Amino acid sequence: MRVLASAPAKIILFGEHSVVYGKPAIAAAIDLRTYVRAEFNSNGAIKIEAKDIRVPGLTVSFSEDEIYFESDYGKAAEVLSYVRQAIELVREEAGKDKGVTVSITSQIPVGAGLGSSAAVAVATIGAVSRLFGLELTNEEIGKLGHRVELLVQGASSGIDPTVSAIGGFIHYEKGNFEHLPFMELPIVVGYTGSSGSTKELVAMVRKTYEEMPEVIDPLLVAMGKIVEKAKEFIISDLDEELRLVQLGRLMNINHGLLDALGVSTKKLSELVYAARVAGAIGAKITGAGGGGCMYALAPENQSEVATAITIAGGTPMITRISREGLRIEEVLP
């Protein structure tokens, strides 16, 4: 038997960083997917074939008379530890230790803040649990994905595997998730090509907060209010066009506040402004910042915005919110 499953990437629409201070956040699944094919093997081992996992390429630095090559094999190895942990967890749940071979291909760049690790964990759990004949709901698979993150990373809010497993929009506050009604958001994600360290950026914001709470606290409060306002627009029955315009305005305000916290970079801001100039109705950082990705809301002109992002030196990905989370694509006998 062979099972092919896929799970989507995520973006944080509103509320990154302020969420660390107990404020709410909204995240959504997007139509970039990781595909995992699973089948039993006869030697009892776990075998992982990473066919294409979108690890960013090689960095070459030149000094006086030496050339340094750095590659991101560390990142690839990290992805594989999520896959291995996911398989072991499912084998534990099934109470069987049969050998499993998984083969992975992905549209989601690794280390870009788009939840590639959660997507690979969720797709692996989906494919392997079906292979073992376990009947798990997508919610249950999201919870197992959270356990994988805890085992691999030590700490995690669980927002990434939850969004990846159940799809659509999620409102998150102090550990509680709520599925928001679906709406179409025509977006363009712009990848800077480098990744920021979420851990270091969170620590940097914390330091500024501790040094001048009277300045930083009002910014975080405003970010929390942006999220509540965005939720109001998402669930309102206002005309679609009006809702998009209002969400775009909130994105721009949220970006300004993230910039004020110090998590933007020259490249991120250039991509944000390039997208706005090309007609996006809103553009902001998504995720921790310091590199990684921005996203733009572009109902009329996704391809113009994508071109502007390319010209500004980023990699555009035209995508939509994915209503579906984990999907079983194919089951072959």
- Binding flag, residue 167, ligand PMV (CB under 6 A): no
CB neighbours of residue 241 within 10 Å:
11
Residue 19 CB, nearest distance to ligand PMV (Å)?
A: 5
Among the listed ranges 17-25, 78-86, 247-255, 307-315, the one in contact with ligand PMV (CB under 6 A) is 17-25
Pick out residues in 200-229 that bind ligand PMV (CB under 6 A).
Answer: 202
Select the residue whose beta carbon is closest to ligand PMV and give its number.
Answer: 287
Instruction: Determine which residue in the list 7, 16, 85, 290 makes contact with ligand PMV, applying CB under 6 A.
Output: 16
Identity of the residue, 286 or 301, whose beta carbon is nearer to ligand PMV in the bound complex: 286
Identity of the residue, 20 or 235, whose beta carbon is nearer to ligand PMV in the bound complex: 20
Identity of the residue, 12 or 185, whose beta carbon is nearer to ligand PMV in the bound complex: 12
Q: Are 309 and 188 in contact (CB under 8 A)?
A: yes
Residue 260 CB, nearest distance to ligand PMV (Å)?
A: 15
- Binding flag, residue 157, ligand PMV (CB under 6 A): yes
Q: Which residues are bridge partners to 178 per DSSP?
A: 171
Which DSSP letter does residue 181 get?
Answer: P
Instruction: Determine which residue in the list 17, 23, 37, 171 makes contact with ligand PMV, applying CB under 6 A.
Output: 17
- Binding flag, residue 20, ligand PMV (CB under 6 A): yes
| C-alpha 9, offset from chain centre | 5
Among the listed ranges 10-18, 239-247, 275-283, 295-303, the one in contact with ligand PMV (CB under 6 A) is 10-18
Residue 311 CB, nearest distance to ligand PMV (Å)?
A: 25
Q: Which residues are bridge partners to 36 per DSSP?
A: 5, 104
Which DSSP letter does residue 238 get?
Answer: S
Residue-wise DSSP of 189-204: EEE-SS---HHHHHHH
- Binding flag, residue 288, ligand PMV (CB under 6 A): yes
Question: How many residues bind ligand PMV, per CB under 6 A?
Answer: 11
Q: Give the number of C-alpha atoms closer than 13 A to the C-alpha of residue 32, restricted to the C-beta side.
A: 25
The Cα–Cα gap between 87 and 41 comes to: 13
Name which of 33, 186, 202, 12 is nearest 109 in CA terms. Answer: 33
The Cα–Cα gap between 270 and 264 comes to: 10
The Cα–Cα gap between 153 and 303 comes to: 37
3-state class percentages of the chain: helix first, strand second, coil last, to nearest 5: 45, 25, 30
- Binding flag, residue 198, ligand PMV (CB under 6 A): yes
Identity of the residue, 19 or 274, whose beta carbon is nearer to ligand PMV in the bound complex: 19
Residue 12 CB, nearest distance to ligand PMV (Å)?
A: 6
Pick out residues in 106-135 that bind ligand PMV (CB under 6 A).
Answer: 113
SS3 188: strand
Would you name the residues annotated as active-site residues? 160
Residues forming contacts to ligand PMV in the complex (CB under 6 A) are: 12, 16-17, 19-20, 113, 157, 198, 202, 287-288
